[in-house]
Structure 1
Amino acid sequence: MLVAALVIAGVLAAVLAVVGERLRRESARADAAEAEHARLIAELMRKERELAELKPFRARVEQAPDWIWTADGEGTITYANTPALPVGSTVEQPGRAGVVRRGERTVDTRSVPLDGGWLGVDRDMTEAVPARVAVVRRPVVDGRREVVGYELVGDGSVLSSFPPEELVALAAGRPLWLSLDGDPAPALAAHGLTLQLTADTSVAHARHLREAGFTLALDGYEGPSPLLDECATVKVRAEGRSDEALQALIAEPAARGLTLVATDVDDADEFTRCRVLGFSHFQGAFFARPRGGEGPGTGALASLQALGELTVSDASFEDLERIIGADVGLSLALIRHVNSAYFALPRKIDSVREALTLLGTRAVRRWATVVALTAAADVPDQVIALALLRARMCELLGANEDDRDGLFTVGLFSVADALLDAPMEQVLAALPLSDEITGALLRHEGRRGRILGTVLRYEQGRFPTDAADPADLAEAYLDALRWADDTGRWLA
């Protein structure tokens, strides 16, 4: 009996071992399937965003003319319904599909073999897709430093270069402010568009726009103007003007009850001065600079010290788990964030280890850094949005290099002084950052510093005129802006 019992026990143990191994393999396969599902969901969301961005151009593309042509086997045109492709001219690379140049025109071409030659259709895209001007977005904030609108500033006509839907999207749900440098689409009036007029705008034109439903602002106000009867807002440059000069200048619009916007407000002292004088709205670089308070608190520095450790590029799985796990607030915020719809994960994440396992150390380090930075201090959302924008644009401009994480970190930390209300030198002295990152932030040294400098100049509206790739900068800015808006919504 004993022998039989031992034999049965051995068999059961073997069976349990086999079953356990199979369960382990099945669990591993299930985890891999879930991770792949999460990746596919994220990829699908990215594709949907790309399609949404192209949607405004669909109507224009559908209205574009088609060129029908035939060519012999060498690509020599034998027939075309447009003088842009004269008989006897040559089509390069017949059979190619995609967007190409035909002389001065841009076309989307498709062709198929036909009787030893080619039958082709080109769609003229030159007029269908307008040339896009470089553009930056500047916030209009109130006395609490909260964003109440966004102004889009370009190196050409913004109104003419973007379809209405994209202009609205670039405002990220806020009221949009634009210079009157084209014909505004009537649909924009329903989205709270403020049109900024210059002093030479005719009163009749201003009245027509106001009656069409647009809010009007007189930009660069220099004194009494008949346009004040049509405008709800005046914008006044504060820089270089004394208190007495500003008081005299704004006396009439203030008496009329118009909204007063101070522009070129570059520091906290100027912001305070303009508030005292009666301005209610403000534009300038002041919101991204220290406010002149008591400096960083202990809690904020502790969060940023953890944040500095997260930026170490060779931090291991165990290092990241320890760093994040040591900060309860950071752990909870990260877990809440990875469980948001932004990631669309197939199941709920309950621990930092699970997040690391499912998303990988690179993704978790990046998102933990962002979460830690946004939780470091009580600052306006616009400062966080600016940090995200700079981080993403720095990364995009270095996309062909291996230093994307370093560039992202430099852009993210470029607002650390505003976040902690202290000089950048003092903030960096308290953080375990590398000499490369410190040099890039303080003196724009090295490749990272040069890219950050490029981003800051573009942000200030200093658009490149002789750079090799100004279009790349413009598109990188717009891509970074959309990413920062999306990320900011999920972080909130």
Structure 2
Amino acid sequence: MQPSSPTAHVVDTGAMIARQAIVNGQQAVVGYELFNRSRTHHTAASDVVMVFTALSHAGSDELVGNLLLFVNCTHESLAGGHLDLVQPDKVVLEVPPLGHAAADEVQARLPMLQALRARGFNLAFDHSVLQSAYAPWLPLADYIKLDLSVLARDQLAVLVGYAGRNSHAELIAEKIESAQQYDMVSSLGVQLFQGYWFARPTLVRARVLAPSQATTMQLLNAVRSRADVDAIEEVLKRDASLSFNLLRLINAAGLGMAREVTSLRQAVMLLGARKLFRWAALLLTAVRNSSTPPALGQTAVVRARLMELLARQLQAPEDGDEAFVIGLFSMLDQMLGLPLAEAVALLNLPLPVTDALLLRQGPLGRLLALAEACEHGDAEAFNRLAASLALDQARVNAAHLQALAWADAVSP
């Protein structure tokens, strides 16, 4: 048995999580909306990774307890695989409007929203969902938020009446700043409320324990090779911070466990291999040694997401996970200060994956080279590789933009 790792150290991610209460007519708190109030990475405010981090590391009772959790989202974050890490029953995803909504755009987003609701997530929309352009989304609305800073009383009366006739959604009046506003929306039949009149947002700084990168890679290797629970538990026991982070995740309010989990074995079994692998892979890039430039992890995440998106266009959806791994690990040499061959050897990956990483061979190897061409602006390589994979260049560019947005959101 290998010796335990050195004492874990606390890393301040800089993440400032704000919560604001949502109350009912008796002014009892029914849920909280979370916001990102960090000085940097403001686009991450809409990403569920922010919630995952907050609930896992800032303390679930401190943030929301057993109440509903309302999360600002982007359409990129809604499509991200990290939502698999969240138990949906107490989470309300706030879906933004599309801006200049066109019928085909609204229709294109519909399957994703339907799938999220089928998984058990509640969905909230702003009053835009009551416009005719968003008619396909309206039956999915569990909550509709009415912004008193932009809606006059006569507009509110019309919207409340329309929502009551055409949806089953509960209405939330937000940005209430006076007793007069509260009385007015109450008289219209609204029964849920949010705003400074009730409570201002309060802040909690999210701090995480930084596990050893080597132990995190051992965990990835064990899960990847389908090791048994005993072997995975043994890896977790080698690093107190890794074990701590896992137990905080599994006991988070967002995962909805009936009772607190204190056994690493039970945590592994409850989370499952696929979620455990995704969590550890994100942790490897999110919590880096101080000597590792943050841009390296960001670039690796962009590559991983881009390759995942493109692989789904080329192959079966499940191949996206393998493409994600190749992109994520393609910069391990720089992240760990090892030659790439030595770094890849630590993970005991299948030969096609190793060949893709080290030799750029096979379809996934060409996808990795294409991702690098996108990064470097190498038009000649981009055109050649896209053609060899039979990928439309416009779709590759669109996927790259999606990957950049997604990676920006998941960065701590």
Fold agreement, TM-score > 0.5: no
- From the CA coordinates, give the structure whose radius of gyration is larger: 1
TM-score by length of 2: 0.43
Q: How high is the TM-score relative to the length of structure 1?
A: 0.37
| Higher normalized contact order (CA 8 Å, seq sep 6+, divided by chain length) | 2
